[in-house]
């Protein structure tokens, strides 16, 4: 019985969001600056023992599904991912999902799931896909098969891991530049970050649809967000975290102009409270409206910021991570053998 367990990180996108939609970068190019963190999506996949005459697949997520064919699987990404990789019903497959953070909360969970799933399924077949292959396959699965309104940055972040400057070429090529900060700089960045959960979730695809509709009308804003990705890169490599925080504040102001679906009074209130209590800048992660927010602030102001928002949501302890998707366990032992 083959058993595989993958671990794939969630991400924080700092700058350049919006320019990673093909509707934009295939005309103008794009760039983002992002990092993964030490919060993960775990996906296990194994062959089910054939105990009865009926082959069944079992999928465990919010629901527990037991079905006789791949086509009957309710989970869209699992069903279409297995079909895409040409898994059939000759042997039962069990797939289990667990996540450190809530889904639909702005940390790239759908793309993280897609990358981890494809990694698990390919490993089950004895394959060793590259991280770039996993990222591009996840983009294809989400955009062209599931028809989700997603960009192309989250899949690359989840697959490669770490702090990255990602460029999206007009010819469709996707290039990932790993940012290797000195340990002192990396620890300094970690020490200035706060991650806040608003307690609310949303469906990103609907919000992203409104952003995509406005892309051509908001070209000036998106071009500036692209420029900020490179500026943020330079600030990190010079260890200027205060400038990085102020730039994040400017980017959040611009992002709110792209669509009226990005923010709301609830999010604006949280952001202003954080700023009033010492944050240099921050942003709502993901498409908008709710989910997680990231703030950059002097460490000595962290307690004051936390206290100001305690009654609204909760802060999550985290660190930026350097790992991308990985197989943490794999066994090809056959059922019934010692």
CA separation for the pair 75, 193 (Å, rounded): 34
pLDDT score for 213:
61
CATH 3.30.230.10 boundaries in the chain: 3-180+322-331
Nearest to 119 by CA among 133, 132, 134: 134
Query: For 42, phi and psi rounded to 5 degrees?
Result: -110, 130
Q: Tell me the CA distances in angstroms from 70 to 39, 95, 222, one per residue in order.
A: 30, 12, 41
Q: Where in the chain is the domain with CATH 3.30.70.890?
A: 183-315
Return all residues near 144 (Cβ < 8 A) that are at least 6 apart.
none
Burial class (CB in 10 A: 0-12, 13-18, 19+), 54: exposed
β-pairing verdict for 93-99 and 3-15: unpaired
What pLDDT, on the 0 to 100 scale, is given for residue 335? 38
CATH value of 183-315 in 3.30.70.890, 3.30.590.10, 3.30.980.10, 1.10.1660.10 = 3.30.70.890
Residues 252-308 pLDDT 10s: 998 888 766 677 888 999 999 999 999 999 999 976 667 899 999 999 999 999 999
102-130 CB burial, b ≥16 within 10 A, e <16: ebbbbbbbbbbbbbbbbbbbbbbeeeebe
CATH fold label, 3-180+322-331: Ribosomal Protein S5; domain 2 (3.30.230)
State if pTM tops 0.75: yes
Q: Per-residue pLDDT tens for 186-200?
A: 999 999 999 999 986
pLDDT one digit per residue (tens) for the chain, 338 residues = 589 999 999 999 999 988 999 989 999 999 999 999 999 999 999 998 776 566 689 999 989 999 999 999 999 999 999 999 999 998 899 999 999 998 888 899 999 999 999 999 999 999 999 999 999 999 999 999 999 888 999 999 999 999 999 999 999 999 999 999 999 999 999 999 999 999 865 554 555 555 566 566 667 888 999 999 999 999 999 999 999 999 999 999 988 887 666 778 889 999 999 999 999 999 999 766 678 999 999 999 999 999 999 999 999 999 999 999 999 999 865 433 33
pLDDT on residue 336? 36
What pLDDT, on a 0 to 100 scale, did the predictor assign at position 209? 56
CA dihedral of 120, 208, 79, 35, whole degrees rounded to 10? 0
Structure tokens at 154: 């989250």
Run of H or E residues at 252: helix 241-258
Terminal C-alpha separation, the chain = 11
The rounded distance, in Å, linking the Cα atoms of 135 and 112 is: 10
């Amino acid at each position: 019985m083959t058993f595989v367990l993958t671990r794939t990180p969630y991400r924080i996108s700092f700058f350049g969001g919006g320019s990673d939609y093909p509707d934009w970068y295939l005309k103008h190019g794009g760039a983002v600056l992002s990092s993964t963190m030490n919060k993960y999506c775990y996906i296990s996949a194994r062959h089910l023992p054939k105990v009865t005459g009926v082959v069944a697949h079992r999928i465990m997520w919010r629901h527990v599904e037991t079905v006789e064919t791949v086509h009957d699987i309710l989970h869209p990404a699992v069903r279409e991912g297995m079909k895409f990789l040409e898994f059939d019903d000759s042997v039962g497959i069990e797939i289990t999902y667990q996540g450190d953070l809530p889904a639909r909360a702005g940390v790239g969970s759908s793309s993280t799931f897609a990358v981890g799933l494809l990694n698990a399924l390919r490993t089950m077949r004895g394959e060793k896909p590259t991280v770039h292959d996993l990222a591009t396959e996840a983009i294809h699965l989400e955009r062209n098969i599931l028809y989700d309104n997603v960009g192309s940055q989250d899949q690359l972040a989840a697959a490669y891991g770490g702090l990255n400057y990602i460029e999206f070429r007009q010819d469709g090529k996707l290039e990932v530049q790993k940012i290797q900060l000195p340990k002192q700089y990396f620890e300094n960045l970690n020490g200035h970050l706060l991650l806040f959960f608003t307690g609310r979730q949303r469906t990103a695809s609907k919000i992203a649809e409104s952003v995509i509709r406005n892309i051509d009308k908001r070209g000036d804003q998106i071009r500036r967000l692209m420029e900020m990705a490179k500026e943020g890169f330079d600030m990190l490599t010079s260890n200027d975290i205060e400038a990085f925080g102020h730039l994040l504040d400017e980017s959040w102001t611009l992002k709110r102009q792209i669509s009226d679906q990005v923010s709301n009074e609830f999010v604006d209130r949280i952001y202003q409270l954080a700023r009033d209590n010492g944050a240099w800048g921050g942003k709502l992660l993901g498409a908008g409206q709710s989910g997680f927010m990231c703030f950059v602030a002097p460490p000595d102001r962290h307690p004051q910021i936390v206290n100001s928002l305690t009654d609204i949501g909760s802060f999550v302890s985290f660190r930026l991570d350097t790992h991308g998707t990985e197989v943490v366990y794999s066994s090809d032992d056959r059922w019934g053998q010692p």
